């Protein structure tokens, strides 16, 4: 007895019942739990017959027969029922489950299970997806389409080889980093769009860090000029956004060099922990006074112009880091990290991570440079908050960022090289 085939048949039975349960629960008259279960089993048996009799025509013939049955059922339904639903979702799902049953035998079982489960989930989420689409604005659709163009159209077309005098500019690698950064921002934007408005000031800081901690700093600093009563609240949101930006840095490092993350992440986590403690203290202070402020509506995070500028900046920093290391050694990279971190910590983080990945920079120096760039970025945001906001905001940001920068510099100086996971 072939137990593998029995298990395959059982999987098809379960997937068919799962999809059929959803269809029957939605009161669909075309097919329910029994029909979908039978269709999945039909797909498996069709593949068994094609395999055992070595006849490639059995599977497509039975698939055509199933299609004919669905067409006939639709014709009868249209003739007998008034105002009937002419959507083809159930019919397509039925054909797909037949294919899933066949692929369980003829292809990769894991992929078939994933597809079958995804069909059930997709059918179940119909109303939620429709509500999501109804709430989309023009700029939301623009963000989705721009990100699709960046990741699915431009990225595959770029050559995967290095160019330039220092042999460090890889167009596909550069655009992959652009896709990563834009993707993180887009996720943060849509979380804010559909959740963040309702969940308070903590989410404002978290989503601000996901979208742009610099933009969040500018927005809240300006708001303190309009309402001086929110100085402490603005300080909390700005600090929380910067703490999340530190998590964002760790995620970027983990994506580029996951094999070396254990050697890098512990000192970065230590700095994040200090920032988190400061956020807890600020939240405790503002919670006494109550009040809540909504995060300003963010702009489209997937603008092609911004993506192109980031790509150029990332490439320029790659060149600057490679040139500086070649001409002046690792010590001079600290100057590059400080200057680059002032404008965009993502670009310098990804550049240094790429160098560590290729072996051009050791991890001991690499994490210190990344941390220095993050602290430089904190200093820049602190200056912006002081210039654009009130004196009270400058005081609170000076305390929170000052503690973080001092602690971070101490970590860079005293952290033992043997301390890592």
27 has pLDDT over 60: no
Least confident of 57-66, 187-196, 342-351: 187-196
Long-range CB contacts for residues 408-416, cutoff 8 Å, separation at least 24: 408/271, 408/371, 408/372, 408/374, 408/375, 409/375, 411/267, 411/270, 411/271, 411/371, 412/267, 412/368, 412/371, 412/372, 415/267
Q: CB–CB of 45/146 below 8 Å? A: no
Query: Binning pLDDT at 50, 70 and 90, where does residue 31 land?
Result: low
Instruction: For the chain, give every domain's residue range.
Output: 3-132, 137-414
| DSSP per position, 338-405 | HHHHHH-HHHHHHHHHHHHHHTSS-HHHHHHHHHHHHHHHHHHHHHHHHHHS-HHHHHHHHHHHHHHH
Tokens for 366? 């690499």
- pLDDT bin (cut points 50, 70, 90) of residue 333 is confident
Task: DSSP letter for 227, please.
Answer: -
- Residue 48: its pLDDT value, please? 92
Closest CA to 244 of 149, 345, 165: 345
Lowest mean pLDDT among 261-275, 308-322, 400-414: 308-322
**pLDDT at residue number 265:** 92
The pair of structure tokens assigned to 369 is 């440079």
Give mean pLDDT, residues 142-151: 88
> What is the pLDDT, as a whole number, of residue 278?
95
Quick one: pLDDT at residue 306? 78
Tokens of 22: 């959803």
Residue tagged 């945001």 (tokens): 381
Under DSSP, is residue 184 helix (H, G, I), strand (E, B) or coil? helix
Mean pLDDT rounded to a whole number for the chain = 84
pLDDT of residue 296: 54
Instruction: Tell if the pTM clears 0.85, that is, is over it.
Output: no
Q: What is the CA radius of gyration of the chain?
A: 28
In which band, very low, low, confident or very high, does the pLDDT at 300 lie, cut at 50, 70 and 90?
A: low
Confidence of residue 132 (pLDDT cuts 50, 70, 90): confident
192 has a pLDDT exceeding 90 = no
Q: pLDDT of 199-248, one tens digit each?
A: 556 777 777 777 778 878 888 888 888 776 778 888 998 999 999 999 99
Q: 237-252 burial by CB neighbour count: b if 16+ within 10 A, else e?
A: bbbbbbbbbbbbbbeb
The pLDDT, as a whole number, for residue 99 is 93
Cβ 389 vs Cβ 221: under 8 Å: yes
For residues 411 and 278, the answer to whether their CB atoms sit within 8 Å is no
Q: What is the pLDDT of residue 404?
A: 96
Per-residue confidence at 71, pLDDT binned at 50, 70, 90? confident
């Amino acid at each position: 007895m072939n137990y593998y085939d029995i298990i395959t048949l059982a999987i098809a039975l379960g997937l068919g019942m799962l999809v059929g349960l959803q269809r029957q629960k939605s009161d669909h008259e075309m097919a329910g739990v029994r029909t979908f279960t039978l269709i999945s089993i039909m797909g498996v048996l069709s593949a068994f017959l094609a395999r055992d009799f070595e006849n490639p025509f059995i599977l497509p013939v039975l698939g055509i027969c199933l299609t004919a049955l669905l067409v006939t059922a639709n014709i009868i339904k249209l003739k007998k029922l008034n105002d009937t639903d002419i959507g083809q979702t159930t019919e397509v799902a039925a054909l797909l489950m037949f294919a899933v049953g066949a692929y369980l035998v003829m292809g990769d079982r894991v992929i078939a299970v994933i597809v079958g489960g995804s069909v059930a989930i997709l059918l179940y989420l119909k109303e939620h997806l429709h509500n999501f689409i109804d709430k989309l604005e023009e700029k939301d659709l623009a963000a989705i389409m721009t990100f699709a163009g960046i990741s699915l159209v431009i990225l595959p077309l770029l050559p995967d080889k290095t160019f330039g005098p220092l042999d460090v500019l890889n167009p596909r690698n550069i655009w992959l980093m652009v896709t990563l950064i834009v993707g993180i921002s887009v996720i943060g934007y849509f979380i804010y769009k559909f959740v963040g408005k309702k969940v308070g000031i903590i989410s404002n800081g978290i989503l601000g860090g996901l979208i742009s901690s610099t933009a969040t700093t500018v927005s809240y600093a300006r708001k303190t000029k309009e309402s001086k009563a929110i100085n402490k609240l603005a300080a909390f949101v700005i600090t929380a956004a910067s703490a999340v930006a530190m998590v964002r840095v760790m995620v970027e490092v983990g994506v580029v060099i996951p094999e070396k993350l254990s050697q890098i992440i512990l000192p970065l986590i230590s700095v994040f922990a200090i920032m988190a403690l400061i956020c807890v203290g600020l939240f405790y202070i503002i919670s006494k006074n109550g009040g809540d402020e909504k995060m300003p509506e963010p702009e489209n995070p997937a603008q092609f112009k911004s993506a192109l500028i980031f790509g150029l900046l990332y490439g320029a920093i790659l060149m600057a880091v490679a040139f500086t290391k070649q001409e002046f050694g690792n010590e001079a990279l600290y100057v590059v990290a400080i200057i680059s971190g002032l404008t965009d910590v993502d670009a310098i983080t990804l550049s240094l991570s790429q160098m560590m990945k290729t072996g051009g920079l050791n991890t001991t120096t690499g994490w210190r440079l990344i941390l220095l760039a993050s602290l430089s970025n904190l200093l820049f945001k602190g200056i912006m908050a002081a210039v654009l906001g009130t004196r009270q905001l400058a005081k609170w940001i000076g305390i929170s960022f000052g503690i973080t920068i001092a602690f971070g510099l101490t970590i860079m100086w005293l952290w033992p090289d043997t301390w890592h996971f």
